Amino acid sequence: MLQPHTTKAVAATKPTVAILGAGAIGMLVYKQLSEFTQPILLGRDLIKEHALTFEPFSKEATSETQIIEGMMCDVNTITHTQLASVSLIIVCVKSYQVTHAIRPLIDNLPQHCTLLLLHNGMGPHLDTLALLAQHQRDDINLYLGTTSQAALKCNKLHVRQTGTGKTMLGHLKGKKLTEKQLALLTQAIPDCHVSEDIRLALWQKLVINCAINPLTAIEQCRNGQLAKPQYQARIDNIIDECVMVANADGVMLSKPTMVENVYQVIALTANNYSSMHQDIAHQRQTEIHQINGYVTSRAKYHHIATPVNDQLVDDVNSL
C-alpha cells in the first residue's frame, strides 16, 4: 500500500453538517463532505479522536491511503452549544439503531434542524416520527435516503471504499433543504440525486437487499456467487413477492426491471460481501427485520402471502 498523506477538512467558521454514526458508510460520507466543508463526526467513544484513515475505491491492488483530520465528538457528551450551528444531521447507523442513536441528541437539536436517514431497509422513519412527536420536536425536518456506495470498516477509524453507486435523497416531513444544502450534498457525494418519489427509490433498493443480503448470509458467500443458476428460482420468487407487496403499498414496481436491477448489482458487487453476511460473520445483530421483515409485515397488512421471504427471515434469525 502507498504511504498515506494527511488532509484536513475544509475549514468553516462553524460546522453546519454532522454525521451520526462512525460505521463504514458514516465515515465514507464524512470523508466525502470533508472535501467541501467541516462536518462533525458523531459516534461512540470518539472523545479523543481527531482523524480517520481512508482508502479510496480502486480496482488496483494498491491505493493511496489518506488521513482525514477533522472534528469528532462523542454522541453521548456533545452539548447544545457544539450543535448550535448544525442544520443537517445525516444518520448513518444500522436501521435498528436509528432511534437509539437520535435519542441522546433529541433535546439538543437546533430548531428546524433536518435529519437525513441513510440506512438499509425500511421502517425506522415511522419510529423516528414517533420519537420526535414524543419529545414535541415538530420543528425537526425529515429526509430519507438510500445509497449504493459500499465501504468496509477495517477498524475503529479506518474505512475502505469497496464500491461506488447512486445515492438518492427525498423529502418526508417539514421544510425542504435549502439550495445551498442540496448543492453541498450533490457535489460532495458522487452520483447523488434528489428524488421526488423517495418511496419508489427506497422500495427499489429494498428489493435488491431482500434478494442479496439474506442469501449471501445463509450461503456464506460473496455477492457474485448468487449469479449461479442454482439461485435463480429463489431470487425470482423473492422479487415476485416484493413486487406484489410494493404494488399493494401504492409503489408500482416492474418485476422485469427489478430482476435486471438485482442481477446488475450482483455483477457490479461480485467481489463484495453483503452487510448482512458481515453481520453474521462478526456475530452482530442483522437488519433482517427492516429488510425482508419489512416486506412480510406489509404483506400481512395487505393479506398477501410471502412464504419465501417469511422463510428467509426465519433462516437468518436462526444463524
Task: List residues with catalytic annotation.
Answer: 205
* N-to-C CA span, the chain: 36
Half-sphere exposure (CA, 13 Å, Cβ side) for 319?
24
Give the residue from 44, 40, 166, 37 showing the smallest Cα distance to 94.
44
244-265 burial, b at 16+ Cβ within 10 Å, e below that, comes to: bbbbebebebeeeebbebbbeb
249: left (phi over 0), alpha (psi -120 to 50) or beta: alpha
Determine the Cα–Cα distance for residues 277 and 280; give it in Å rounded to an integer.
5
